[in-house]
Structure 1
Amino acid sequence: MRNQLAVTIGQYSTAGTKEANQDFHGALVPDGEELWTKGVALALADGISTSALGAAAAETAVKSFLTDYFATSEAWSVQTSAARVISATNSWMHAQNLKGRGTNLSDGERERGMVCTLSALVLKSRSAYVFHVGDARVARVAGSVLEPLTEPHRVYLGGGESYLARALGIDRRVEIDRRKVPVARGDIFILTSDGVHDVLPDTAFLEAARGEDLDAAARFLADAALAAGSEDNLTVQILRVEDLPQSDLDDLAGEEAALPPAPHLIAGQDFEGFTVLRELHAGHRSHVYLARDDETWQRVAIKVPSTENGADPAELRRLMLEEWIARRVRNTHVLGAPAARASRRHAYAVTEFLEGATLEDWVGFQSGTTDLVAIRSIVKQVASGLQALHRLEILHRDLRPANVIVDSEGTARIIDFGSALVAGLDELAPRAEDAMFAGTMQFTAPEIWLGAGASRKSDLWSLGAIAYFMLTRSLPYGVRLSAARTRAAQRKLAYIPASEINPEVPDWMDAALARALALDPADRYEELSEFTYDFAHPNTALAAPPPRPWLARRPERLWQAISAALALALALSIATRGNEREPGASHGSANRVSTPRTEEIPE
């Protein structure tokens, strides 16, 4: 039985000496797959005490965080999910505060508006993520050491006077302190409002952390703060880490990744509710079959691992990742997957079956003039699919013509997610950066060959390389790019203008390609949409790539010239040697002794 994230939580809140409690707190520990993909969350907010809306603001902040964080995509990282949720809550509060007050809040209006602090903790896999705005505190107890993980956002005026410098609802945008720390079994995290930690020494928190009953420990700290003279609301949350997952990709696929690999299948075979129709592909990593779902009669593709060299656990996890992505990305230009079945007896992946040709084959089918309209359409469709992946923080990393299917109606779809990098799942199972080997080298961005991590711009480069390939059936830097493993070697490379190979490519389209295919990611487009627009519309701000030197463009002409010169020299040499042979023969005969013949003259 594999380990999973397990925690114990204790909480307590009281108004203290005040008439009303304007603190608010909450925690959420989900069940099932959500525990793996989203983790455990705690949040504590402290409303501005001088405002009648302070309590409402604190309650809104906590409830919004706990509800909306778990509603974000499982593919998003914790950092992205939490930051977007907090920013959205801040924007809403600020808008409420501005109603009827113009564009800015005066100091007095800030005090009367919906304004509060917020500190949140998310535990996912073997890491803790802290998000902090205001003067509450998140601290960790590891052994006998108390480590504050946040700093108060207060400006101190002297004489004990201070004011809150950062809070939700004050400005249109909010600056959020973020921190990620590794977690060990037995670690204890303590969230407190300022009325608690401002008056208690570290020893009080260390003593509370030793208690078994965490609710009692939380109340102990609040009571101790009250006894120490605190005049504020008092809220304490304590979380103890009881167990941690193994931190591998098995987490993302549930128990399925631990199942035995599916066997090779044959046509007509019944397999776990599917009827196998025929084999579509057989490779060294996997075998793909066309099958029919016996319940829905939908045609699907079943991918099983190639077990010729034994079941590779890494291959099984990649296989499960493919279906996981296909089921969650909803886009016309990305391969989808049917709903998951209740249970399986083997590890395999099921996706939609797409009828059509790979883009590699599609290019081979084209003949005659270049169909620029069709090529621009395909590029735009593939970009749409990439944008859908990127919105979920998924990098494809293996985009190439063989991984794009074009159907009879011209619809293009991205397939094969075995090399994809999912930000949210990478937190579950950090793995060595294998992007250098994830894709096919001809369509892999140059920075990957230098050992850099994949990014949206590396996917953009691959799309540009595909567009270039469709126009020229060639590669933008020739075959030397994959061998250029240093920056110095890459600087020696030059973009080969597509118009040199295919005169039908307009200069303005070549200019868009050159920017998308820049060796330095900083020189590329920031967004896919910018590239697809410039690829279809002339952009006068872009300069066409300069023509290369004549010898670089036509290296064969150099060798032709050299060959012609050598042939001419040889011909001249032969001719010269022939002319010298005639006098040479008489000189040779001089070495022979001859007797002149005397003829008699008749009388």
Structure 2
Amino acid sequence: MPLEVTLGQHSLAGRKGLNQDFHGAVVPTGSALQLKGIAVALADGIGSSPVSHIASAAAVRGFLDDYYATSEAWSVRRAAQRVLGATNAWLHAQNQRGDARFDKDRGHCCTFSALVLKGRDIHVLHVGDTRVYRVHAQALEQLTEDHRVQLGAQQSYLGRALGAAPHVEIDHRCLEAEAGALYLLASDGAYERLDAASVHTALACWPHDFDAAARVLVQVARERGSTDDATVQLLRIDALPPQEAQPWQARRAQLRLPPPLAPRMVFEGWTLVRELHASARSQVFLALDPQTGGQLVVKVPAVDLREDAEALDRFLLEEWVARRVRSPHVLQAWAGERAREHLCVAMEYVEGQTLAQWMTDHPRPDLDSVRGLVAQLAKGLQALHGKEMLHQDLRPENVMVDRNGTVKIIDLASSHVAGLAEATPALRATRIVGSLQYTAPEYFVGGPPTAAADLFALAVLSYQMLSGQLPYGLQVTQLRAPADLQRLRYVPLRHHRPELPAWLDAVLHKALQPDPARRQEAVSEFVHDLHRPGAALLRPRALPLVQRNPVLFWQVCTVVLGLATVVLTGLRALGR
């Protein structure tokens, strides 16, 4: 069942004759409907400006055009704020070039409200004093807050609007959508004269023509004394997609499961050369494309997973993600285009070794070599994070080092994609999808997925490359409750490599904090600290005995407990 709505809208100019309101809506089809949703937008230019109608038209047109041009991986909030931020900057630039530089009341300024219905959520975006309501049986529930500053009982001014300042704060709310829910967007020329009863009366008269119902409501506002521009938009949710819907489910249903594969076999037009890897999740072959002579990697799901719908969806996710990230440090999808009959993914071939093998070959690498590898890994993660994606399974086996020393992050099937998680509630469940010993502690206690989790995994890899050990051993895998986080004990790197600088432990320990809020803010900051640590990290810090020398700590504890036992035994004997 696809997302379905009924939509209607109408606008009427006020007594000035020039309508400074502007409205619009987009109901896309295909993947855009699922990945970007339905958008409804309304803008109202400020009445004192002779050019505010230009601002409101630019705001609505720009939003409806550019929102659908943003990355499918982005969340609604990020995409909308980027688009509206660009519109605000353009409007403000027009003001700075003209008379509005000295009189903002005559500039390119407008208020703005929008609804984006995506998946099973409805997003409310707002700045100014246009309004969004949910229509109930007896009342209108206002979902936006008017950005007006009251100077007195009868006087107020607009405190926030598009174009009024170089930067603008956009209010965002995300609400659970419900089938049958009805929403109203309106400018002040309409909502000041309308109530729930008038909305339901109009809909009762025009149940199958929401444009006519909106026209009736605008006319009602005019009859009740409105002299301003009046705009009304009505949106009713008729059907919501199922919770488990994912963008590639239809494609998966059209693909056949692959047959048993073997070298020299022709599969999907490619000639299989040899098996590269086989695991519980997939079988990977090196293949040749006869048309170009180029090499590629063909991956098919493991036999045991062929009845697991969720596993197959994650399997297809890898190529979907790879086609949307452009970085020399993230594995790319095969560049060719070819219709496929079987369920498989095609990726670029990287000739080299895994980071796991590199660590075997370099058991005690120098710090500069590790910093070089970490910097490349960080660039790959930054490319993912820039698209609001998380890798979630960064480990030595999922990193390739090619013959030129270039590092590439591979195996993107465990990625978290913010835009997909919005559209698919089933993808939001906080569950561990990566290898336990590299998974951030917050995942074990129900924390949300954030970029800080990838930073934690990167720091674990850095520590392991330098020492051959894990910073917490297997402690992290035993976490069950938030209180358990306090019991994690970091083992200083210098226990394994005393020749390394003391500040390095401070950098790693910060990135490996159990609380994600105490880590570096981004992987770029972590890389910077590895090369140029700040004064706070260079300052000597007295570590607790349990971290400086765990063996001595427990020996002291044993001695103290032994003495306490002897003393208590003696006291009990004297008491007798």
Normalising by structure 1, we get a TM-score of 0.86
Once superposed, what is the RMSD of the aligned Cα atoms?
2.6
Helix, strand or coil for the counterpart of 1:86? helix
2:199 matches 1:205: yes
* Equivalent position amino acid for 1:536 in 2: H
Counterpart for residue 54 of structure 1: 52
Helix, strand or coil for the counterpart of 2:41? strand
Q: CA 1:308–1:538 in structure 2 vs 1: closer, same or farther (change >3 Å)?
A: closer
Aligned positions of 1:543-582 closer than 5 A: 543=539, 546=542, 549=545, 553=549, 555=551
Counterpart for residue 582 of structure 1: none
CA offsets, 1:38-80, max 9 Å, x none? 1111111111111111111111111111122112111110011
The separation in 2 between residues aligned to 1:251 and 1:142, in whole angstroms, is 33
Q: 2:299–2:344: 8 Å Cα contact kept in structure 1?
A: yes
Shift of 1:6: 2.7
Among all aligned residue pairs of Structure 1 and Structure 2, give the percentage whose two residues are the same amino acid: 45
Q: 1:551–1:558: 8 Å Cα contact kept in structure 2?
A: no
Among 52, 64, 67, the alignment partner of 1:69 is 67
Among 405, 408, 418, the alignment partner of 2:403 is 408
Among 197, 206, 220, the alignment partner of 2:216 is 220
Shift of 1:253: 5.4
Counterpart for residue 24 of structure 2: 26
Structure 2 unmatched runs, 5+: 559-576
Among 531, 536, 540, the alignment partner of 2:531 is 536
CA offsets, 1:102-124, max 9 Å, x none? xx966xx1211111110111111
Counterpart for residue 478 of structure 1: 473
Shift of 1:548: 6.2
Q: 2:271–2:288: 8 Å Cα contact kept in structure 1?
A: yes
Q: CA 1:235–1:399 in structure 2 vs 1: closer, same or farther (change >3 Å)?
A: same
The separation in 2 between residues aligned to 1:285 and 1:350, in whole angstroms, is 16
Q: 1:188–1:209: 8 Å Cα contact kept in structure 2?
A: no
Q: 1:140–1:148: 8 Å Cα contact kept in structure 2?
A: yes
The separation in 1 between residues aligned to 2:33 and 2:240, in whole angstroms, is 12
Helix, strand or coil for the counterpart of 1:427? helix
Helix, strand or coil for the counterpart of 1:63? helix
Shift of 1:488: 4.5
Q: 1:496–1:548: 8 Å Cα contact kept in structure 2?
A: no
The separation in 2 between residues aligned to 1:117 and 1:430, in whole angstroms, is 32
Shift of 1:131: 0.5
Among 453, 456, 459, the alignment partner of 1:461 is 456
Among 421, 424, 433, the alignment partner of 2:419 is 424
Shift of 1:227: 1.5
Helix, strand or coil for the counterpart of 2:425? coil
Among 80, 91, 94, the alignment partner of 1:93 is 91
The separation in 2 between residues aligned to 1:22 and 1:95, in whole angstroms, is 20
Q: 2:131–2:185: 8 Å Cα contact kept in structure 1?
A: yes
CA offsets, 1:378-409, max 9 Å, x none? 10000001011111111111111111111111
Helix, strand or coil for the counterpart of 1:75? coil
Q: CA 1:79–1:254 in structure 2 vs 1: closer, same or farther (change >3 Å)?
A: farther
Among 357, 379, 382, the alignment partner of 1:387 is 382
2:343 matches 1:338: no
CA offsets, 1:353-391, max 9 Å, x none? 211111111100125x52322211110000001011111
* Equivalent position amino acid for 1:429 in 2: T
The separation in 2 between residues aligned to 1:385 and 1:419, in whole angstroms, is 15
Counterpart for residue 159 of structure 2: 165
Number of aligned pairs? 553
Structure 1 unmatched runs, 5+: 563-603
Shift of 1:100: 7.0
Counterpart for residue 123 of structure 1: 117
* Equivalent position amino acid for 2:362 in 1: Q
Shift of 1:156: 4.4
The separation in 2 between residues aligned to 1:556 and 1:164, in whole angstroms, is 66
Counterpart for residue 153 of structure 1: 147
2:520 matches 1:525: yes
Among 187, 192, 195, the alignment partner of 2:189 is 195
> For structure 1, which segment, 92-101 or 129-138, has the greater mean C-alpha deviation from structure 2 after superposition?
92-101
Helix, strand or coil for the counterpart of 1:431? helix
* Equivalent position amino acid for 1:166 in 2: R
Among 166, 169, 174, the alignment partner of 1:175 is 169
* Equivalent position amino acid for 1:188 in 2: L
The separation in 2 between residues aligned to 1:309 and 1:69, in whole angstroms, is 37
> For structure 1, which segment, 503-512 or 21-30, has the greater mean C-alpha deviation from structure 2 after superposition?
503-512
The separation in 2 between residues aligned to 1:74 and 1:274, in whole angstroms, is 29
